[in-house]
Amino acid sequence: MKIGFVGLGIMGKPMSKNLLKAGYELVVYDLNQDAVKDVVAAGAAMGENTKALAAQSDIIITMLPNSPHVKSAVLGENGILEGMKPGAILVDMSSIAPLASKEVCEQVEAKGCEMLDAPVSGGEPKAIDGSLSIMVGGKAEVFEKVKDILQVMGATVVLCGDIGAGNTTKLANQVIVALNIAALSEALVLGKKAGVDPEAIYNAIRAGLAGSTVMDAKAPMMIAGNFNPGFRIELHIKDLNNVLETGHSVGAALPMTAQVMEMMQWLKANGKAMEDHSAIVRYYEALANDTVCK
């Protein structure tokens, strides 16, 4: 079985390397030739374009920034759909709008192929160690065919429903992550202004009800003033745009999400778009005229 992998960014590159380590035969494509060369050096073959890559592959995985990129890679000229063999499976692991997943799936199925949407959560560290959370939408029988492959990249792999359910679940995940980071930021800045060491606050509460994976990942970054991106502000803005668009389309009110989106927009306007989303604390620091960082 040969796997095609399109999209070798912060997440896609380590994910593809984990597939190689597990013994899968891989052909890869990305506009960034340095990323391609890196994965080829690890044992992959290089695809000429997405059409050629798909023609060589039984399963094609895409890991791209947003809905337009997926549509272009799959449905565009010399795209994946043109090269897909009957019975091939497209697994889109990008975080995109659920409606876009459904649109692409319709055209994939019309060609006699199958598709799953399977976005991930966990950021670069979990992409590197293969412990991502993978949320899948699509047919159960198709999911079973690729489950072992997904388990190479993820610690948890869950079928959430029909096509689009994976991305809907990912949007819910991104709401929870964003609001957790904002709450953590607000709390640590409160502590600092009141004269309590933010690191002491973190160590005191992390094992209690307030503790979370988000807190353990982001509090140390805030305290160290380290905003090197595991997941960039600009990408979380993209996800929250999809959240709000989806919420509006289904009639779900999202007032807290909208508020955190405005915080992120402020950060973007102040040159922080490429920083990690833990930089939400910078918004609160600006309001308080103080810093959490020691």
Q: Computed from CA positions of residues 17, 18, 22, 26, in that sequence, does the dihedral angle turn out positive or negative? A: negative
∠ CA 99-35-178 to the nearest 5 degrees?
A: 45
Integer Cα distance of 15 and 218 in angstroms: 22
CA distances from 127 to 8, 68, 73 (A): 12, 23, 22
Phi-psi region at 112: left, alpha or beta (left = phi > 0; alpha = psi -120 to 50): left
Integer Cα distance of 158 and 168 in angstroms: 13
Q: Which of 13, 170, 192, 238 is catalytic?
A: 170
If one counts every other C-beta atom within 10 angstroms of the C-beta of residue 34, the result is: 8
HSE-up of residue 135 (Cα within 13 Å, Cβ side): 21
238 classed as catalytic: no
Alpha helices in 225-254 (DSSP H): 233-250
Q: Is 67 helix (H, G, I), strand (E, B) or coil?
A: helix
Residues marked as catalytic = 170
